[in-house]
């Protein structure tokens, strides 16, 4: 028997070694208080430095919606595609803000905490999960503003609004999977952090944030098929179909199946992909 066999019999594990997936996830779950506390601390740290504090959580996406509405809605006349364009735009911008911040900032959740990763022993997945939790907490005020915008433009609450709960859960799972994937990729390829803003912008222009994909593309064969399978577009379309009434805001029922598959697939792939490289995160080479 060699040293490796002796340590295995003694129940010892190499420092920084990768445990089994089930053991690893159990360790992550035991640190859920740390994850939520870290998320809240980061939210307070980000907003505490500003005079308006948490007001910027809503004000920034509102300003984005105002700029996009002015440029695309009134200058380029995309507002002619749908009724209640302002409510349509607010839902799109706020939902996309949650996705884009998870995608771009989540990529730095490991590389941006190198000192913590190298000095303490804990499941590294806690860091990207804390980032998603942080962005989720920041999304909640925007979610309230989406509801207010819908009411302001005459779309009164109805039982269908309850579907927003499972939709937000699915969207959060989807963003979590993407965050785990990009968090690992940037450990191996630091240049990816410079490419992610462009990838986020590509999603922005192909998700129908400020225009109706259905009205603009119509039935254009494979182009429409690709647009229908774009996951962020599906989430935006479902949110608008839940909150807003009228033929211009109806979403296709199969989008629920697509969104569920995207969310669960992204999460499973992200968890396994991140876990496989657990031993790599603490290295300095």
Higher-confidence residue of 56 and 252: namely 252
Q: Look-up: residue for tokens 């925007």? A: 142
Q: Which two tokens stand for residue 169?
A: 């859960």
Check pLDDT > 80 for residue 64. Answer: no
Other Cβ atoms within 10 Å of 164 Cβ, number:
17
Cα–Cα distances in angstroms (integers) from residue 125 to residues 58, 152, 237, in the given order: 28, 41, 31
Q: Which two tokens stand for residue 201?
A: 């912008």
| Distance (Å, whole) CA 259 – CA 270 | 16
3-state DSSP of 170-227: HHHHHHHHHHHHHHHHHHHCCCHHHHHHHHHHHHHHHCCCCCCHHHHHCCCCHHHHHH
DSSP structure class, residue 15: T
Report for 18-22, 28-32, 186-190: range of highest mean pLDDT: 28-32
Tell me the average pLDDT across 143-170: 91
> What percentage of the chain reaches a pLDDT higher than 70?
81
Tell me the average pLDDT across 194-204: 89
Instruction: Locate the domains of the chain by residue range.
Output: 18-280
Q: What is the pLDDT of residues 99-145, one digit of tens each?
A: 999 998 888 888 888 778 888 888 899 999 999 999 999 999 889 88
Check pLDDT > 50 for residue 91. Answer: yes
Hey, what long-range contacts does 125-128 have (CB within 8 A, 24 or more apart)?
125/24, 125/28, 125/180, 125/271, 125/274, 125/275, 125/278, 126/28, 126/31, 126/34, 126/35, 126/38, 127/183, 128/176, 128/179, 128/180, 128/183, 128/274
3-state DSSP of 95-144: HHHHHHHHHHHHCCCCHHHHHHHHHCCCCCCHHHHHHHHHHHHHHHHHHH
Give the per-residue pLDDT at 7: 45
Higher-confidence residue of 55 and 7: namely 55
Other Cβ atoms within 10 Å of 114 Cβ, number:
13
Give the per-residue pLDDT at 5: 53
Handedness of CA 34, 23, 116, 195 (dihedral sign): negative
């Amino acid at each position: 028997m060699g040293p490796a066999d002796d340590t295995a019999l003694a129940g010892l594990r190499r420092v920084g070694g990768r445990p089994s997936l089930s053991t690893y996830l159990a360790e992550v779950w035991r640190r859920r208080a740390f994850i939520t506390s870290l998320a809240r601390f980061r939210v307070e740290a980000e907003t505490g430095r500003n005079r308006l504090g948490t007001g910027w959580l809503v004000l920034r996406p509102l300003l984005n919606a105002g700029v996009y509405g002015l440029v695309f809605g009134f200058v380029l006349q995309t507002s002619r595609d749908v009724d209640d364009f302002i409510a349509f735009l607010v839902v799109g911008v706020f939902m996309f803000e949650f996705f884009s911040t998870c995608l771009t900032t989540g990529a730095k959740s490991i590389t941006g905490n190198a000192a913590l990763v190298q000095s303490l022993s804990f499941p590294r997945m806690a860091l990207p999960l804390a980032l998603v939790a942080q962005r989720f907490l920041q999304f909640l005020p925007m979610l309230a503003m989406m509801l207010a915008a819908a009411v302001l433009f005459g779309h009164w609450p109805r039982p269908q609004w309850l579907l927003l709960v499972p939709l937000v859960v699915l969207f959060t799972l989807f963003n979590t999977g993407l965050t785990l994937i990009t968090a690992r990729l940037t450990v191996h390829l630091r240049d990816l952090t410079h490419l992610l803003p462009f990838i986020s912008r590509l999603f922005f222009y192909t998700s129908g944030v400020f225009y109706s994909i259905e009205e603009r593309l119509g039935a254009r064969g494979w182009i429409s098929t690709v647009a229908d399978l774009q996951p962020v577009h599906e989430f935006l379309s479902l949110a608008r179909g839940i909150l807003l009434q009228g033929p211009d805001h109806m979403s296709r029922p199969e989008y629920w199946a697509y969104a569920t598959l995207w969310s669960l697939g992204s999460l499973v792939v992200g968890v396994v992909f991140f876990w496989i490289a657990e031993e790599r995160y603490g290295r300095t080479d």
